[in-house]
Structure 1
Amino acid sequence: MDYQRKLSAGKVNGTAEQQARQLLQNVQRILKPVAVRNPYAELLKIPKEVFKQRRTNVHYLAFIEVITFYKQYQRELQADPLTGECYIETTIDDIRQANELMKGILLRKSDELSGATRQYFEQLKKYLESSGERTFTNSSIRNVLRVPLSTVKRHHTALLQVGYIRQVENRYTKAYHYEVLSYEEYQQLQQRIVTTG
């Protein structure tokens, strides 16, 4: 949306965009087909928090190969003595760059919540922390966050199922309120991904 606003205000440099696009296309044109071998592949591990590890592992290894492939002119071309196949090798720096670029992806693949529910939950926690409130209702949050009631209920159902919030009964009104059980769970997950990634 920020880009759209700048475009509407005439603050986007179309010439610079076209030059960047042309540069990327030219870079793609000079790349040659070459095999990539990762001598460190057997030592690499996906964080245990990641769901669907086998699928994510394939993507992770392929991403490292792509980084190596794009650096083919910075690598010495080697030949396999048995097959004669020419290849380039992945370096530790390629793996380090892949890890840095994939942090967010690994975090999303480790989260029990969908992207929309995670975004809602983080907004909810921020609001509760800033307002000093401990409990909330569907309708109070709907009004504050300006989210349809059906969406609020869907998110609360998902959060209840994974145990991130709990339902408490107000003893005076007998109405159900909710409270967040942990405000730090996402930061803890991020920390575990960063330290194992």
Structure 2
Amino acid sequence: LLRPLAVVNPYAEQLAFADSRTRTRRDHEKYLTLIDSITLLYQYQRDIKTIDRDGQVIEYVEATLDDIALANQLAHDILGHSLDELGHSLDELQPPTRQLLQHLHTLVANRIKAENLRQNEVRFTRRDIREVTGLSNSQVSIHLDRLVELEYIYAHHGKNGQRYVYELVFDGELTNEQPQLIGLIDVEQLKKGRQLRL
């Protein structure tokens, strides 16, 4: 019943996807295909548009923000994992390491709100962590290194011999033990950006 229409995703360049690891790079194409499939499925609820390419008329439908929101929801179940590609879950984190992750989640959320940043723009240092948590330098080292190893946190090399700064990669729900696919863009951010342009 579906026509073999082309699908155009006008939001493709704005979509975020964690691609720092081999598995997530492979999953990226699956994620984009999931959006295309949803759009194609709803083709009869969409305007069919045309474009002329070298004298050939191509019919297509455009992906919507609702399609992306549904794809994000489905991606957690289809492509999701228990918080990282190594097969670990929050239950496998030692309580102090998990508690540090919670502190970092709060630290980043506060910076996002106060400075109007996206999560991937927030950077913090070991000193920031010590100030927020009250942990000693050795305690921070142990648990932060564990989070970096498990790829919840990404360590950015400092320039010209400067200290490391860190980025919180994990953007799932700390209380959710269901499979989660981290790094997907918040569709609400796309909607706000679209409203600003209008």
TM-score (normalised: structure 1): 0.43
Larger helix percent: 1
TM-score (normalised: structure 2): 0.43
Q: Whose radius of gyration is greater, 1 or 2?
A: 1
